Each structure stands twice: as structure tokens, then as C-alpha cells.
Structure 1
Amino acid sequence: MNYQDPVNYHELLKQYQLEIDFIEDYGKVKKVYTKSGVYALKEVEEAEIRSHDFIRILQNLQHKGWMGFVPIYQSRQGSPVVTHQNKGYYLMPWLPNTPSDERDVRYHKLFQELAKLHGTSSKEVEVKKKDIETHYTGLKTTWEDRQKELEEYVMECEKKVYMSPFELHFCTVYYEMMRAMEFGFSRLDEWNTEMEEKEKIRLVTIHGKLSAKHFLYDERGNGFFINLEQAREASPIHDLVSFYLRTLRTYPLTSLDSYEWFATYEKHFALREEERLLLHSYLAFPEPLYQCIMQYRHQRYKTELEHMQSLIRAYWLTKNIEQVNIKIFEVDQQKKIAAEAAANETET
């Protein structure tokens, strides 16, 4: 769709010494055609304009040798972010994003580049016992409260003579949710035990909003991240959990592709034991189902059919995530058994 009134952008792009031929509108991103080439102009939020944190983070990563993001051009004044009519913008080359690889290969490339990002930015920081305890008790209390809400609601539903289709389906999946929660609680308790002797934790620079649509390809088939405004220091599991939550919102999956992506990631950047335990915990808790059920219970503004469709989609997402989570757990257990057997053979 052509942008009908490029006058404001004409003034803005003078700061880059560019003259517009025409612009295509893709929401917050504008595809800018000029005599010198095609560019992507991205609008950023006011808070991001004030902080410029993501620019500083990208510059630090570049100094460390990681170039896995689409470069940001500087204006004539030497600024990577320019303001115009109380909004902020930055300019990048427009990538064609027409990879010849199959979908699954592209996901492997994404996870490989994510591992490089995490590995390049990885650092050890001291952690206080109080902070660990605060995170543990806060997360466990939140999940226990949600578990109690679900218990109360299933009892409320089962007392009815005639349940709605939604309520009937909820009661059907309820015990699966409880088993998933038990697995999540047990991994969280193990994480807390594992952290008792730890004085340091590992932080990396995370993408912050990781998804396949934020990983684009150039003409040579090389992949680069975009949309890094929410990049920050955190545990590497944040990117993994958020990616699976965004990506596995599909029909039920029968393949183990989603586990193979994780295996590719670990070939380049392996998680530590405490990180794995916390990953299992976050992946196990059926948050999408909980949110869907509570919306029906307290904010029923959609039709019964629409709520049922939302519940089924949330259930599929939960089961897809459960599949990869259990596979990671099973492979880890097999490796531990093999290591113990090898150690026993060495002793004998």
C-alpha cells in the first residue's frame, strides 16, 4: 500500500540526506524508496527515544564482534535515532527476506544466531541470597494462587447440573493442568535448591521480543535480527520461553522440530543446570490456559463459541510447549544415566 502523504517523511529523511521517490506503509515500519536504494524506517516509542538503551546495547555487541542485527544508519548529526513531530525513528537497509531454505532450516538458523548473541554477551554477576529467595517465593506464591483459583472454579463447575460447553471442556483438561503444575513446582523447588550454593548467575543480552518475523534474510541468505528495542540483560531462558509461546500457537504438532531447534541452540550455547530447571518450570506452567479460563470466568465479553475457540487454541499451545519441555527433560535424563554408567565402568 502506497503512503499517500509523504511530506512529513520527506522532511524527516532530509536528516539522512535522502530524497523520497515513494513510501509503502507497513504499520510502524515504512519501506522507503529513494534514488540511492530502498530503506526501512522504524518508528519507536517515546520511552525508547529517551533511553536509547537498545542502541547502546547494539553498539556494545558490535564492539564484541557480534553482527547479527540489521545495521542502523546514523543521521547527518551522527545520531542513530532522530526525532520528528514528537516521534522517534531509526533507519535501516531494507532486506528482501526471501530465503530459499525450508521453514525448519530457517528456525535452526535463528536459534544458531540467538546462541551467538547469548554467547557473545554472556557474563557472570554476583547474586544475593535474598534476591533468589524473593524470586522463588514470589513466583511460587503467584502460581499457587492461580492453582487455587482453578481448583475453586472446577468445583464451582462440577456443582452445576448443566455445564456450558466451555465449563465442560475446562473440567476435562483440568487434571492435565494440575499434572503440568506439579511438574513445574517440582522443577522450581529443585532450582531453589540448586541456587543455595550459588554466588553468581549468568546474564546475557536477550532479544526481548523474539519471533520468526523478527529474523530477516539478505540477498545471500544470511539471517539478521530486527526489532531489538526491548533488548536487555536477563537470563537466556527469557528468549527461549517467549519464542515458544509465540511460535507454537498452532494446531497440535506431531514432529519434534521444536526440540531440534533447542538442540541447535545448545550446540553453540549450552544452558547450565539451574537455567534448565527454571526453563522447565516456566514452560510447564499452563499460563495460556489459565488466562483463557479466568477471562471466561470474570470477563465474559465474547460468545460461547469464541471462548471455546480460545480455550482450544490455548490447550493446543500448552500441549505443544509440553511436548518440547518433556523432550528436553527426557534427553537430559538419558544423558545423566549414560554419564553415571560411564563413571561406574571407570571405577570398576
Structure 2
Amino acid sequence: MSKVVNTESVIDLIKDLVNIPSPSGNAYRAIEYTEAFFAQRGIPTKKTLKGMLIATLKGKDDSKHRLLTAHVDTLGAMIKDIKSSGRLTLTNIGGFPWNFVEGEYCQIETSEGKTFTGTILLHQTAVHVYRESGKLDRSPENIEVRLDEKVTSKEEVEALGIQVGDFVSFDPRFEKTKSGFVKSRHLDDKASVAMLLHMADLLKEQNITLPYTTHFLISNNEEIGYGGNSSIPEEVVEYLAVDMGAIGDGQATDEYCVSICAKDSSGPYHLGLRKHLVQLAKDNGLTYKVDIYPYYSSDASMAIHAGYDVIHGLIGAGIDASHAYERTHEESLQNTGDLIFHYLQSKLINE
């Protein structure tokens, strides 16, 4: 089967998105980017009170709707305390162990909108001073930010305008390799957002009218558990989350397939929709894996928990080293994007 998605365009969008700081609770600039993207293509959007963005493509049947979601918020941190030394302690936003960000460059955004850079380090990093540094617990008590400013006291830091509650984002370190890999923080879930944006382009370029009115919901609080679980139009019948496929020991997913989730920690996804997605993958010659994610939930499962009566599913590109320095391959983006394209033009499973 011929390929549909232009992976270079998707990767360009990924690069743009990951370089916009957007930890949960402070994702407004990334939302604004997606809002402008849809507006430039004449696709109407609305923003919810929670700050999510819903773009709507009118379909041939406006009585039954589909909704696809991807989240633009990422892991991050917030300043918990300013030490007397001028170093900063952190509290995490989203779920990750501190060793996953040790040594990473970061950016601090003050409430006045100023930005400062720094590095996340173990307090006892100097091996010439701390003999047991390698054995110490990577905990909030031991992890701190070394500011790239000439400060040696709490007062000097506060004079810069930095205070408790300021957001901290992690340097994505985006890179595309000659062998087709995409390496970056925050591929979860900006790779999926990029695919939905590219999908909007494809549909416009090819003048495709979808069989059903379809919404692209860009959520902004998924990493903290309440992303796309509200503001779902009552006409929505099928709700498909596009998020990362989990890779590791015992997992079927790899960096080259589209991962179709059968179950995560929230429970099974809709069996009929899963079978439909598998058949679409087979019919279109896509590389896919059906998998179970043991420590995971999605915006789709959160919508179910919130009480929405929808058919829910979950697919995504295979992402290695989730919540750390992540990686996927252009083949996975191709297979995932192509499955989205074919799903959007298929019949609802109950028809």
C-alpha cells in the first residue's frame, strides 16, 4: 500500500512543538501554536475554560461525531524552595524519577514572564568532594537547580524575580538522525499532536470531507490526570486517544510500528474499536502491534472514568525510554499517521 503521511513534515512539527516549553499547568504557548495552525487552515476552534483546544472538521454526517485527542502538556517541575546558597529545590509535575532529569539543562519562567536557564544536578555532584555521591538517593532533597546567574544567596535569587511556584521546563535536546530516529524529550505526546496537525493539512490539501464530523482535541493536563475528560460534544460516538506506545521488557511495541492498546492500568479499551483498528492496519499493509501498557492511562480512559458514554480506543507511535530522553523512528510515525488517516475515513464500528 502507498504511504500517506509525509514524515518529514511531521518531524518538522515535532521539532517546533518540543521546543515550546509546556509543562502541565503552563502549556498555554503550545496551545496557542496549535490554535494558530488550525486558524491558518480555516479550521474553526474553541478553547475550553481548562485551556484545551478543540478543532472541528465538519463531516458528511453531523449527527454522529468522532473525537481524536493528543496532549501538548509535558512533564516538568516547579520551584519548591530557594536555598540559602542560591540553588533551587524542585517539586515534580507528572510522573518521573529524578535520575531521569539529572544533568539536564532547564529553563525557569517567572510569574512576570522572565526566563532564566540552569542545570538540574545532585547537590553532591562533585566527586572530588563527595566520595559517596554515586550511591545517594536521587530525591527532591538531593536534587537542585544550579542557576546560570551570579547568585550566592536566596536574596540574590529573589532579586531576579524568581520565586516559589515558578515553572521549570526541561531542555528537549531534539535531534533527527540519518538513520531515521527522532530523539527528544516530550515525544510523549507532542509526536501525536504533530500527527494530528499534519492530518489536518492532508485533509485540506486533498480536499477530503470526512464521513462524520470530527474533533481534534488538544489537551493540556494529561500528565497530571485530567486532560481530555471534559467538554466532549454530546454527539461524539467514538473517542480515540493518540498517545505514546510503551516499550520495554515484555512489551510487543517497538520503535517502528503503530501500537494498538488492548488494555492499560485503567482497564481494557473497547474491543470492537480495537478490532476495527487492527483490521484497518492489516487492510492497508501497516506494521502494527497489539499491546498492553501496565502503568499507563490516557485521556480516553479518563473520559470513561468521568462518565462519558463513548467507545474509546488508544493508539500511538512506539516511544522508547518513556518520560526520560525519548526516541522513536520515522517508520513508527508513518504507520501511526497512516492508521489515523484510514480510521478517519472508515465507518463507525456500530454502523
Identify the TM-score tier after normalising by the shorter chain: under 0.3
TM-score (norm 1): 0.22
TM-score (norm 2): 0.22
The structure richer in strand per residue is 2
Higher relative contact order (CA 8 A, sep 6+): 2
